[in-house]
Amino acid sequence: MRDVASVTGHPSRRMLEHYSHQRLKAKGQLLVRMEERRNKGKTG
């Protein structure tokens, strides 16, 4: 893991965890928006 981190430019595990968390958060927000759009098109 340390070799991968040095190649990708992430000097610490803490930094890697921070940016990984941000990507997961963005993906989760995208899924919520997609679901809202899908449900908006449905009629009850």
Question: Which pLDDT tens digit goes with each residue over 6-23?
Answer: 677 656 778 777 778 888
Structure tokens at 31: 């899924």
pLDDT tens for residues 27-38?
999 999 999 999
Q: 43 falls in which pLDDT band (50, 70, 90)?
A: low
Structural domain containing residue 25: 2-40
Determine the pLDDT at residue 19. 78
| Tally of structural domains, the chain | 1
Which class for 42: exposed (0-12), middle (13-18), buried (19 or more C-beta within 10 A)? exposed
